[in-house]
Chain A
């Protein structure tokens, strides 16, 4: 990450890392229209009963993954993250509401979500009055500029790649420790309340990126470089009082200088938040199920219930009532690489699309409570621009007859034999269970599938290596923010094909019309209008059968008995820690 050139492969690799970490951190829920209500039995969501939320108490967070590198420059988050957002305020943030309303971007430190110029290449923000750090000193726009500049330093890498790509001069900037005090010219601070960003191209969705922790203020005088993560200066409702073992155990207490009048989003009910990680998923779920002692006031932001645990909860009303359901923008799909025979033949790709049995695949992914069948690449949420389509209708269990017919037309009257590459990780996404379900479905259409299971790192390396991409493999993608852009651009933009690093455009699609449309949509600042065009673009690309959408995962997570005010947005799919009360 030390190179300052326009290293798209580095950028892409980071996106990947993010996607993966988001999966881990992603979580929970938005009370799905049918499932959530069904499962909860009472039709409510967890914590609905029990009266109004009160201040006080200690909230425990039980997680698998540690909150490592707790420095705003280094965190890769969607919308500022869950725990990080308790400490770091940003220019904009997520709307902390249930479901679809939660996909909106709203002001945080700024008075609005940003004023663009005519072609959305310049964004201006004004700070609210009365903003203070945990030591009582005022937050200025210069601190936000400094915070962003830090994230360009090689030693503080880890954040999202977008700013390096978008800001004028961002590709060559090496951070404030190496610039001789000049700073990055494309971030202008005319006065302590105003900050202006100059971009090298139109980016109508800039306000979404301004939710990430790189947009948190960092006072230059308090910056300790790589050691800053041990005690970052808080701008949010909580400050870090203890950080053991690089985020394994974080203790947060109230920041007395945070003023709720300046913050409409964070509720901050508990007095103390205790974040513990490194726990086994089964242990977390067992502790939340038992919910005794401090665990009664516990939640998890990264651990789902597994299929066996869901089966066990079954008809237990009390437990089912404590399960939150959420949707995070995510797709699991079969990637077909037309550079490899026989997938260069559209009829073969269509035959596979017709033959797929989504019922088996969903069961392999944990059943209908944990996965929803997908026929579109975009998740089924309006914010992503979801436009329904099913170009090669396979029905619930596949259409092997139609698939055979197409194979015959393609010149394979006796069926064909192909290899499916998958991971051996037990993740129920790219795992052997899902691969076997695909194999079984295609067998009915006369397609013999040989399975090639690779250890997870080897699997990722192979599918991201443009020279070595398998012809047929399981893949997945998650959104950096709730919109079609971070979904379609990395996967289908021909200019994002990376030849010497991690490539996500598996099909190596380089279609001038698609590229041009991606640029056109990026100019829109009307997000609803942009959404419609992303949906239309998705539908159009879908005609080529470059992938077979399989399912969108659903998050099911338990909370402790005393937990109230559970809010789960479609942005994160996880309950929002800043809204939870334990009294």
Chain B
């Protein structure tokens, strides 16, 4: 979302049509509006905490004295499918969140280390998606009819391409030493931008018919100038919203790719991997499923709430005297 913000900030202090002061003023204004929403602040706090925990994973692992990859065969009941001994998935003084069935690996440290991969891959992929999606969407909207059609068909093809199949094919081509998180970011990022591009194109086309864009055009601004100064600020809201929605999708995509051996390599944990191996255990060892699922839920919720708050704060219609649209639209 920082990208969208930057792009929406022209150098000159010309008031943007939405009533949002440009430059540093815009960010300040967004912050002021977000600050008024306790839910948004809480969501931001949760995300900050998660990122902090992920960054501090090695320190925390040292603190608990656990290695995320160490096996503890004595902590699982081998005769009963490897279910953790003890209650609540083997929670103990040593293993604060219990252990993994079958291996006895410490769940707390695995979740912390898993957060690193999952957040990195998801955020990285969404940044790539957004950049590519906005660029292509604007090009489709501003280019001529032929270029628009061509880009539109290309977008359709990319949406139709099955990422998982390409992922398998890639494993045969990509050298085994290529860093997997980067591969995942590129794969998810470069394949799943079609929705963003389509949305941006549709929004940009709609905006082009509005008075303030016409005014800018009449005052002699070129296509690029219109895109940068008039369209991007208004697009920031929907783009940030769609990016927030894409984060959980990217986390899930990471887990599906792990299934096919394109994900991070074992024993490196990721939430997606943990969730997929936990799904058969939901009755026998609910703790094992609830931990990664709960974390994923909290993360997704936080992104959504925060995304929504930023969207509202960025919405040019919010706080604008020049009300655009009908009353019904505004209240919605």
Give A contacts to B, CB under 8 Å: 35, 38, 282, 306-312, 314, 357, 359-360, 362-364, 366-370, 397, 424, 426, 432-433, 435-437, 439-440, 450-455, 458
Contacts and interface: CB of A to CB of B under 8 A. Distances in A.
B265 A367 contact: no
Query: Which applies to chain A's interface (DSSP): helix, strand, loop or mixed?
Result: helix
A311 B101 contact: yes
Contacts of A360: 71, 73, 103
A308 B101 contact: yes
A307 B76 CA distance: 12
B244 interface: no
Contacts of B283: 308, 312
A368 B102 contact: no
A362 B265 CA distance: 21
A370 B81 contact: yes
A435 B266 contact: yes
A364 B103 contact: yes
B101 A424 contact: no
B249 interface: no
Contact of B82 (A35, A311, A439): A311
A437 B171 contact: no
Interface of B: 69-71, 73, 76-83, 101-104, 168, 171-172, 176, 259-261, 265-267, 277, 280-281, 283-285
B102 A38 contact: no
Contacts, number: 111
Nearest to B74: A359
Query: Which applies to chain B's interface (DSSP): helix, strand, loop or mixed?
Result: loop
Contact of A307 (B102, B104, B261, B266): B102
Contacts of A437: 71, 103
Contacts of B69: 440
A451 B264 CA distance: 11
A451 B266 contact: yes
Contacts of B103: 360, 363-364, 433, 436-437
A86 to B, nearest CB: 32
Contact of A363 (B78, B171, B260, B284): B78
Contact of A454 (B78, B82, B83, B261): B261
Given A311-B101, A455-B168, A455-B260, A363 B266 contact: no
B265 to A, nearest CB: 5
Contacts of A435: 266
A312 B280 CA distance: 11
12 contacts: A35-B79, A306-B280, A308-B101, A357-B73, A360-B73, A364-B102, A364-B103, A367-B80, A369-B79, A433-B277, A440-B69, A440-B70
A108 B83 CA distance: 45
Contacts of A362: 78
A363 B83 CA distance: 10
Given A311-B81, A363-B103, 12 more contacts: A310-B81, A311-B285, A312-B284, A363-B82, A366-B81, A367-B76, A367-B82, A367-B102, A368-B78, A440-B267, A454-B261, A455-B260
Name the residue among B77, B80, B265 with the largest chain A CB count within 10 angstroms: B80
A306 B279 CA distance: 12
B324 to A, nearest CB: 51
A432 B264 CA distance: 12
Nearest to A435: B266
Contacts of A452: 176
Contacts of A432: 261, 266
B110 to A, nearest CB: 12
